[in-house]
């Protein structure tokens, strides 16, 4: 089987979508002998280049400009035709929410009579009125046509499949392939790594992991900072924020305005190999996103793989990642008071926290592995190809 995957960005740029594509591609190669070919934009945007990573062939295309986080180049069409003709794929899998490149490829391969499967990670929303308007315009100019041209549409959770207003018409096409996790990587012994690195004593640790870009405001970090301020009135607590981005000064100024400078640690970029230490040594991991742009919430699954309880909001795919009152707590979005109450509940009840962490680890070990994700993806591809 010749499989091609089209995604806006790819490793070494590593967000949720990039990790999803990388992990499944890796297992297709190693376990099933399928050599996926990746087409993506060139994150460095210096030139066109071809390379290999872990046996995966990658074509990186320079973009002309970006709208929000969307790389665009009207001249890609000719190059995409050339690459597709050269590789002669049996089927192509495109990834959004970051639009354009997958939409262009869907139209090219439709004319070439090559099956196209779309992986739809989350709805496009937007962090300001203009971006929201452009997001809505996308569906009516490109998105719905791409959905029409897709033989199947993969989503990451049943919750998202049932609740996305843009997918209702296409429900019969929908299939679910949740992200996975390498549980062994995260199930490590607790040490005092964070205490030593940040000179902590007996503080309770609240952890946030996510990009600190303006485009990622939907992750709700501002509501978490305010919630931790409330919690700090009665509990000795530290908020550790892992991530970088163009909005970091905004969050630092917010922490300062709340008098929280001494209680908030901006850890910056942390390599994937060190992240399990942060999850393991935290008392609770929080993802307070406030709109459907949060397609799944991978950090919650990573935390549960470490046996750490989690708190999330009732939006997007988060309620699929968290079993409320079993391995974590769900609160309404944009509600710092409710978020603070949930944090206090976990930080003050050791038995509750331990039970949630244990049940979360057990569920993740059974339901969310990359091996299972790859198997489910391959089943859909074979279904489309009639194998």
- pTM, whole model, 2 decimals? 0.82
CATH assignment, 183-367: 3.40.50.2000
- Residue 245: is it exposed, middle or buried by C-beta count within 10 angstroms (0-12/13-18/19+)? middle
Q: Within 205-335, where are the H helices?
A: 221-231, 248-257, 275-281, 298-305, 318-321
Residue 316 has pLDDT above 90, yes or no: no
Percent of the chain at pLDDT exceeding 70: 99
Q: Are strands 174-176 and 204-209 parallel, antiparallel or unpaired?
A: unpaired
Residue 293 has pLDDT above 80, yes or no: no
Confidence category of residue 127, pLDDT binned at 50, 70, 90: low
| Residue with more model confidence, 239 or 128 | 239
For position 13, what pLDDT does the model report?
Answer: 79
Confidence category of residue 66, pLDDT binned at 50, 70, 90: confident
Residue 246, H or E segment: none
Residue 128 has pLDDT above 80, yes or no: no
For position 338, what pLDDT does the model report?
Answer: 98
| Fold: same for 3-180+369-385 and 183-367 | yes
For position 129, what pLDDT does the model report?
Answer: 79
Rounded to 10°, the helix 221-231/336-348 angle is: 50
For position 157, what pLDDT does the model report?
Answer: 86
Instruction: Report, as an integer, the average pLDDT of 265-288.
Output: 96
Cα(360)–Cα(363) distance, integer angstroms = 5
Q: Are strands 70-72 and 328-331 parallel, antiparallel or unpaired?
A: unpaired
Residue with tokens 């993806």: 377
Residues 6+ positions from 315 with CB-CB distance below 8 Å: 289, 290, 291, 292, 294, 333
DSSP 347: H
* Residue 280 main-chain phi, psi, to 5 deg: -65, -35
Q: What is the mean pLDDT of the chain?
A: 93
| Residue with more model confidence, 249 or 159 | 249
Residue with tokens 């850890």: 267
For position 268, what pLDDT does the model report?
Answer: 97
| Residue with more model confidence, 160 or 111 | 111
Beta strands in 160-276 (DSSP E): 174-176, 204-209, 237-242, 264-268
Residue 146, H or E segment: helix 144-149
DSSP 282: -
* Per-residue pLDDT reduced to its tens digit, 372-384: 999 999 999 999 9
Residues 6+ positions from 268 with CB-CB distance below 8 Å: 242, 243, 244
Residue 14 has pLDDT above 80, yes or no: no
For position 290, what pLDDT does the model report?
Answer: 93
Residue 245, H or E segment: none
Cα(250)–Cα(246) distance, integer angstroms = 9
CA 152 remoteness from chain centre: 21
Cα(329)–Cα(343) distance, integer angstroms = 9
Percent of the chain at pLDDT exceeding 90: 78
Contact 46, 62 (CB under 8 A): yes
Cα(42)–Cα(59) distance, integer angstroms = 8
Confidence category of residue 46, pLDDT binned at 50, 70, 90: confident
Cα(114)–Cα(298) distance, integer angstroms = 31
Output the CA–CA distances (angstroms, integers) from residue 10 to 13, 188, 221, 254, in the order listed.
6, 28, 25, 32
* Per-residue pLDDT reduced to its tens digit, 322-369: 999 999 999 999 999 999 999 999 999 999 999 999 999 999 999 999
Rg of the chain (C-alpha set): 21
Domain ranges for the chain: 3-180+369-385, 183-367
For position 386, what pLDDT does the model report?
Answer: 94
Buried b (16+ CB within 10 A) or exposed e, 88-123: ebebbbbbbbbbbbbbbbbebbbeeebbbbbbbbbb
β-strand partners of 219: none
CATH assignment, 3-180+369-385: 3.40.50.2000
* Per-residue pLDDT reduced to its tens digit, 244-261: 999 999 999 999 999 999
* Per-residue pLDDT reduced to its tens digit, 101-116: 999 999 999 999 999 9
Cis peptide before 371 (omega within 30 of 0): no
**Hey, CA dihedral for 345, 349, 355, 361, is it positive or negative?**
positive
Output the CA–CA distances (angstroms, integers) from residue 298 to 157, 179, 180, 361, 369, in the order listed.
12, 7, 9, 14, 12
The total number of residues written for the chain in this structure: 387
């Amino acid at each position: 089987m010749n499989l091609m995957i089209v995604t806006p960005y790819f490793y070494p740029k590593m967000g949720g979508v990039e990790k999803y594509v990388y992990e499944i591609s890796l297992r297709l190669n190693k376990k099933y002998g399928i050599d996926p070919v990746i087409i993506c934009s060139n994150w460095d945007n210096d030139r066109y280049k071809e390379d290999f990573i872990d046996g995966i062939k990658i074509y990186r295309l320079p973009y002309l400009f970006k709208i929000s986080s969307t790389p665009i180049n009207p001249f890609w069409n000719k190059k995409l035709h050339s690459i597709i003709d050269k590789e002669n794929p049996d089927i192509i899998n495109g990834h959004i929410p970051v639009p354009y490149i997958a939409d262009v490829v869907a139209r090219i391969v439709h004319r070439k009579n090559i099956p196209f499967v779309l992986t739809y990670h989350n709805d496009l929303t937007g962090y300001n009125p203009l971006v929201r308007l452009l997001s809505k315009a996308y569906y009516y100019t490109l998105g719905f046509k791409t959905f029409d041209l897709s033989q199947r549409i993969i989503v990451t959770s049943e919750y998202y499949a049932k609740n996305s207003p843009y997918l209702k018409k296409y429900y019969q096409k929908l299939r679910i392939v949740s992200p996975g996790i390498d549980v062994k990587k995260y199930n490590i012994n607790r040490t005092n790594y964070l205490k030593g690195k940040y000179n902590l004593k007996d503080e309770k640790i609240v952890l946030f992991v996510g990009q600190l870009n303006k485009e990622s405001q939907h992750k709700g970090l501002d509501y978490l900072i305010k919630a931790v301020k409330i919690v700090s009135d009665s509990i000795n607590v530290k908020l550790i924020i892992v991530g970088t981005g163009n909005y970091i000064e905004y969050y630092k100024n917010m922490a300062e305005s709340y008098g929280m400078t001494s209680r908030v640690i901006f850890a910056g970029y942390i390599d994937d190999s060190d992240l399990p230490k942060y999850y393991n040594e935290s008392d609770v991991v929080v993802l307070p996103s406030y709109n459907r742009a949060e397609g799944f919430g991978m950090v919650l699954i990573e935390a549960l793989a470490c046996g750490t309880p989690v708190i999330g909001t009732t939006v997007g795919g988060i309620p699929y990642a968290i079993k409320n009152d079993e391995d974590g707590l769900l609160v309404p979005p944009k509600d710092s008071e409710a978020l603070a109450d949930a944090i206090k509940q976990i930080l003050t009840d050791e038995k509750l926290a331990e039970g949630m962490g244990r049940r979360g680890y057990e569920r993740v070990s059974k339901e969310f592995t990359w091996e299972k994700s790859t198997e489910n993806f391959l089943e859909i591809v074979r279904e489309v190809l009639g194998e």
